[in-house]
């Protein structure tokens, strides 16, 4: 399903790329020239064909998680073709290969790093984001709403031929973010899973839990009934509309082994969600709010042995595993593919909840 490599021109040392840049929390993106990080022989340059639009991009553009480094080129669901490969790059990637980059732009890989040495690079204390982050030498990282990008080769992944580029793009963040906790907390045959939120993350969580991992029962939760048909088409066994169905918390109390929460609403009924777990059940939060989550009454949680965790994207090993699983099980994200130059309208549509369920921006045939 992979497309043939475009005829990209090899990038020189002193080079400028072009991308859609945010310059303030409120300004629309404008097409500008930017200078990528200084070239190192561990780097790979990528001619970008596709880049997914993620809620993280919106949070960053409006400085929702802290002060953003402007000008900023967001996008961390990048797929394209390697146009330049450093002499000390990670083995296995050559010029012309179809590759991708997720949210992690750099990790230290030091033997003394507790995270990197244990295969938990996504928690490396020296990790840098694919965009809007600053390297120790002062260089800034830039993302995938562009013609090219430059990243450390150990953050670059080979894309299986059986995955279309628009599907692979969303797997690199959204897919990885839900796959990691599903795997960690034992999703599979005999396990009953709840997915809170049927959107960019949640729809992939339903697909992986049911179709790829074979969970016994998958229940999708959202506020309104409007997504019920979509959730069932994705493979959910049941759909619950928390704002429109009375007594939903009582009817589903103590029925689930695992809940993956993809929403980041500070007013969500968190205490009621936790009451859906069976004894020793687990709740994992992957949606990142700009405001604090609701306060909890801890006594019911203690008496039920409930555990709560948080998860950040996925380790490189799990991303590779997830990509292969998605290809093997024919997991196809629900995407809307649009030209890269429509990025500002795409951002508006995502902000207004019009995406069903992931928007992927596509460069023209040359990747420019």
pLDDT tens track for 211-267: 999 999 999 999 999 999 999 999 999 999 999 999 999 999 999 999 999 998 888
pTM over 0.75: yes
What is the distance of C-alpha 97 from the center of its chain?
A: 22
Please give the Cα distance from 78 to 99 (Å, whole number). Answer: 8
Strand partners, 21: 30
Per DSSP bridges, beta strands 156-158 and 192-196 are unpaired
pLDDT category at 7 given cuts 50, 70, 90 is very low
Separation in Å, CA 197 to CA 35, 58, 62, 94, 306: 38, 18, 23, 39, 21
Cβ(269)–Cβ(296) below 8 Å? no
Quick: pLDDT tens for 132-170. Answer: 999 989 999 999 999 999 999 999 999 999 999 999 999
Tell me the per-residue pLDDT of 92-129, one tens digit each, with 9 for 90 and over. 999 999 999 999 999 999 999 999 999 999 999 999 99
Is the pLDDT at 367 greater than 60, yes or no? no
Asked whether 215 and 192 are in contact (CB, 8 A), the reply is yes
pLDDT of 23 strictly over 50: yes
CA 143, CA 36: separation in Å to the nearest integer? 10
């Amino acid at each position: 399903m992979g497309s043939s490599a475009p005829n990209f021109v090899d990038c020189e040392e002193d080079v400028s790329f072009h991308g859609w840049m945010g310059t303030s929390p409120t300004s629309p993106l404008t097409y500008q020239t930017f200078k990528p990080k200084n070239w190192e022989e561990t780097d790979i340059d990528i001619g970008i064909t596709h880049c997914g639009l993620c809620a993280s991009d919106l949070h960053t553009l409006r400085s929702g998680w802290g002060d953003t480094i402007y000008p900023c080129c967001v996008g961390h669901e990048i797929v394209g073709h390697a146009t330049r490969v450093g002499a000390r790059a990670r083995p296995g990637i050559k010029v012309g290969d179809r590759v991708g980059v997720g949210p992690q732009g750099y990790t230290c890989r030091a033997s003394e790093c507790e995270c990197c040495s244990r295969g938990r690079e996504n928690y490396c204390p020296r990790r840098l984001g694919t965009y809007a982050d600053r390297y120790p030498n002062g260089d800034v990282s830039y993302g995938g709403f562009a013609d090219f990008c430059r990243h450390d080769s150990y953050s670059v992944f080979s894309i299986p031929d059986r995955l279309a580029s628009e599907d692979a793009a969303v797997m690199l963040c959204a897919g990885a973010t839900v796959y990691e906790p599903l795997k960690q907390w034992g999703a599979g045959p005999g396990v009953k899973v709840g997915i809170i939120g049927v959107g960019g993350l949640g729809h992939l969580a339903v697909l992986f839990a049911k179709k790829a991992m074979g969970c016994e029962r998958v229940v999708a939760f959202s506020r309104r009934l409007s997504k019920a048909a979509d959730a069932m088409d994705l493979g959910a066994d049941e759909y619950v509309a928390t704002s429109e169905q009375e007594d939903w918390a009582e009817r589903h109390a103590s029925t689930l082994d695992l809940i993956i929460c993809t929403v980041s609403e500070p007013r969500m009924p968190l205490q009621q969600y936790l009451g859906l777990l069976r004894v020793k059940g687990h709740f994992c939060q992957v949606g990142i709010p700009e405001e604090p989550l609701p306060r909890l009454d801890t006594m019911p949680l203690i008496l039920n042995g409930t555990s709560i965790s948080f998860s950040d994207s996925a380790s490189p090993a799990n991303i590779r595993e997830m990509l292969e699983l998605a290809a093997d099980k024919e997991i196809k994200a629900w995407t809307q593919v649009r030209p890269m130059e429509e990025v500002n309208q795409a951002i508006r549509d995502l902000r207004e909840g019009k995406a069903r369920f992931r928007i992927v921006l596509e460069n023209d045939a040359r990747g420019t």
